[in-house]
Amino acid sequence: MYRFLYMNVYVPLIILIVNVLHIQASELPCAVYCSKDTINLGKSYVNDELVDTMSITNTSAFPITISNPDIYSRFPVFACINVSTNTLQPNQTAIYTFSFKTVHNISYSATASFSIGCASGFYSKSIILKAQSEYQDTEFAFTQNIEGQALYNALNAYLQNQTVYSYSDARTHMFGKADNVNGYVECIYTGRKIQTTGIPNANDFNCEHSWPQSKGSDKEPARTDIYHLYPSDSKSNEKRSNNPFGKVTRSILWEVGGSKLGLPTGSSDTTFEPRDESKGNIARGLLYYCTRYGNRKGTFDKDGFLTGMETILRDWNKSDPVDQREKDRCESIASVQKRKNPYVDHPEIIDRMYKLSTQPEFPLYPEPITNPKGIYIAINSPNDSIDLMIPISNKGNQFAKVLSTEFRPSTESAAIISIDTIIKPGIVSYAKIRIKQGIASGTALRIRFADGLSTLPIPISTEIPSSVQDIVNDEAPMIEISPNPGIQGFDQYISVHVQSRKDISLKIFDIQGKELADLSASIEWQGLDGKIAISSKLLSYPTLLCRVHSIYGTRTQLLFTGASDEK
C-alpha cells in the first residue's frame, strides 16, 4: 500500500486543508473562479492512465500568484502533469491537467490544494480528485475495493472451492502437463532437465513441497495442491529438506545452478536460497499456500512457516516477476483444480494485506498533514466580517473526534460558528469561522482531538505579511514515503521533490527526536527528484521521523514501518 504525505504538524488521522468558500467574489481578495470543484477522472482498467483538466481564472482586478497544487492522498495515484502558469493577470486563466494511474482495482479520492495570494491576502483553494480502476479480467473482480483482513477472507473463500487430486494424480499432472515443456521437465532449484511424460524415477526427480510436509502440508488437500509443488532433482530436494527460504550469505554447504544451502547474515538457522529464476515462482506459491491453508507450522515450531520468510518472499515477488511460463503453468493447474493462484494473475494484490502470515489487517495509523501557510485576509472596514469554511478530511482508517477549538492568542475578532465533531474516514467535514479586523499575525485556530491526538494549529491573520508571494511560492521540499505504513517485505523508500538541490539534507530521527542517520549523501537524484532506500536497521523502529531541509524550507514526515518494538 502507497501514499503521498507532506507535513509539518503531527495530527494523527487528520488531513486539514484550508479552503475559502461561501464568500462573494467581490468581497474576497485574490478572487478566483475554479471551473470544477471535483474532478472525477472516471473509470479505467488497471495500468491505464486517465487524464482530465480544470481551469482557474483570476476574477479580481489585481495580479495573483497560484502555487502548483499539493496532492494529499493515501496513495500516490494522482498527479498534476501540466501547469500553464503560476502568475495570473486579471481575467487570465491557468489550465491544470491531472492524471490517474494504478495497478489496483480500487476507487480512490484525493485533494489538490492550491495556495493563492495577492497584495491583499492569502488563502488555499482545494478541489477533490476521484477515480476508479478495475481488473480487466473477471476472475478476481470480487476483490474490488477491499484490503486487509476482508481481502484475505475473500481470497481464502474463493480458494476453498477447488478440486482435490490424489497424490498420484497431482504428480502425474505436474510432471506430465503443468511443468512439462515439449517433453522435458526442469528442476525448480538447479535448472537441470530430464525427458519424461509422467512421474519419473524417484531416485532421479522428486516432487518438491515448497511448503514442507513436516510444516503442515502432510495431508490432503494441502499435500496434493499443485500450486506449491515443483519438480526437483533428488539431490536438491534432499538439500532443501524442510529448511526455510532466505538469502544465504555465508557458510555455504551446497551450491548448484544458482541455488545454495548455508547461513544468512545475522542468524545460525540453516537456510535454502533458490536460484534467481525461481525466487518469484516459489514466493507466489507460498503466498498462495498461506492464503489457502493458513500459516501452518511444524509440531514443535513456535511460529508459522511463513512468518520468518514473508519479508524476503515479498521482495522476490517483485524482483522476479511473473513470466509467460509461470502463467502457462498456473493455467494448466487451474484447468484441473478449478481455482487460480491470485498472486500469479495479480502479484500486486499482496500489497493490500499488511502481514499475510500474522495480521492481514492494516493497523490503525495516523496520517497527519496540513497546509502550514494558513489564511491571511485584509479586511478594510472594522464593520466588515468574512465567513470562512475550513474543510477537514480524514484520510486515516478510523474516525477522529474533535474535543474543542480555540484561537490562540485569544481574540475578539474571530469566532467558531460551527464544526463537525466526528470526522469519519474518507469524507470531508467542515469548520465554519467568522473573522474581522484585528487578528494579529501569529494567531492560530487550534483544533483538539480525543484519544491523545496532537492539537492542530491553523495560522489565521488579518495582517498581511510583507510578501504574500513569498508565502505562496514557499517550495519547502515535498516528501513522499512509500509505502506508509511500512509493510514487511516491501522495498521502503523515501522520495523527495525539491526546487533546488543546493544544501539539501535528509536525516532520520526516532520518535523521541534522537538522530539515527544522516542520509544526505546517499540520495539518488534524477533532476530535482531524489530517492533513497531505508535500511533494515532503520526499519526495525516502528516509527521514524524523516526531516528534509533545503534553502527553501524544511519538511518533516512520520514513517510507520510496521515493526513491533522500539530499539
Q: What is the DSSP string of 452-499?
A: TPPPEEEEEESSPPS-HHHHHT--PPEEEEESSS--TTSPPEEEEE-S
Q: For the chain, how are helix, strand and coil distributed in percent, rounded to 5?
A: 20, 35, 45
What is the average pLDDT across 120-127?
Answer: 82
Fold of 475-567: Immunoglobulin-like (2.60.40)
When comparing pLDDT for 159 and 463, which is higher? Answer: 159
- Provide CB contacts within 8 A for 526, sequence distance 6+: none
Q: Please work out, in degrees rounded to the nearest 5, the angle formed at the alpha carbon of residue 54 by the alpha carbons of 50 and 55.
A: 155
> From CA 215, how far away is CA 95, in angstroms rounded?
60
DSSP strands (E only) in 385-470: 385-393, 400-408, 414-419, 422-423, 428-436, 444-449, 456-461
Containing 509, the helix (H) or strand (E) segment is strand 505-510
Task: Find out whether the peptide bond into 485 is cis, omega within 30 degrees of 0.
Answer: yes
pLDDT confidence band for 73 (50 / 70 / 90): confident
Residue 6 has pLDDT above 60, yes or no: no
Q: What is the pLDDT of residue 371?
A: 59
What is the average pLDDT across 62-68? 88
The yes-or-no verdict on residue 342 having pLDDT over 90 is yes
- Above pLDDT 70, what percent of the chain? 84
Q: How confident is the model at residue 567 (pLDDT cuts 50, 70, 90)?
A: very low
Q: How confident is the model at residue 418 (pLDDT cuts 50, 70, 90)?
A: very high
Q: Is the pLDDT of residue 400 over 50?
A: yes
Side-chain half-sphere CA neighbours of 165 within 13 A: 21
Give CA separation, 155 vs 103, 140, 147, 185, in Å. 18, 9, 11, 30
Lookup: cell for 66: 497560484
Average pLDDT, the chain: 85
| Residue whose C-alpha cell is 524442510 | 242
> Residues with Cβ < 8 Å from 417, sequence gap 6 or more?
387, 432, 433, 434
- How far apart CA 492 and CA 387 sit, in angstroms, is 43
For residues 449 and 286, the model is more confident at 286
Higher pLDDT, 20 or 155: 155
Q: Comparing 52-66, 135-149, 392-406, 476-490, which segment has the lowest mean pLDDT?
A: 476-490
d(CA 78, CA 44): 13
Q: Is the pLDDT of residue 14 over 70?
A: no
Structure confidence at residue 309 (pLDDT): 96
Min mean pLDDT across 17-31, 223-237, 282-296, 298-312 is at 17-31
The pLDDT of residue 473? 53
Of 108-117, 120-129, 364-373, the poorest mean pLDDT is in 364-373
What pLDDT, on a 0 to 100 scale, did the predictor assign at position 368? 43
* Whether pLDDT at 65 is above 60: yes
**Which of 11-15, 55-59, 273-277, 422-426 bottoms out in mean pLDDT, i.e. has the lowest?**
11-15
3-state secondary structure of 19: coil
| Residue 563 scores a pLDDT above 70 | no
Lowest mean pLDDT among 286-295, 428-437, 539-548: 539-548
Residue 42 pLDDT greater than 80, yes or no: yes
Helix (H) or strand (E) holding 554: strand 553-560
The residue with greater pLDDT, 395 or 167, is 167
Give the residue-averaged pLDDT of 140-164: 97
Q: Is the pLDDT of residue 336 over 60?
A: yes
pLDDT confidence of 333, banded at 50, 70, 90? very high
Is pLDDT at 513 greater than 80 in this prediction? no
Mapping DSSP onto H, E and C, the string for 327-390 reads HHHHHHHHHHHCCCCHHHHCHHHHHHCCECCCECCCCCCCCCEECCCCEEECCCCCCCEEEEEE
Which is higher by pLDDT, 473 or 21?
473
pLDDT at position 225, please? 98
Mean pLDDT of 126-152: 95
User: Which pTM value belongs to this model?
Assistant: 0.79
pLDDT at residue 4 tops 80: no
Question: What pLDDT shows up at residue 162?
Answer: 94
SS3 32: strand
Report the DSSP pairing between strands 543-550 and 400-408. Answer: unpaired
Between 56-65, 148-157, 250-259, the lowest mean confidence (pLDDT) is in 56-65
The pLDDT of residue 84: 62
Domain ranges (residues) in the chain: 148-352, 475-567
DSSP 243: P
Residue 62 confidence (pLDDT) above 90: no
| Angle at which helices 276-293 and 148-160 cross, to 10° | 90
Give the pLDDT of residue 11: 29
**344-399: pLDDT as tens digits:** 999 999 999 999 999 999 887 656 455 567 788 888 788 888 888 777 777 777 78
3-state secondary structure of 196: coil
Q: What is the pLDDT of residue 25?
A: 29
Mean pLDDT of the 478-493 span: 55
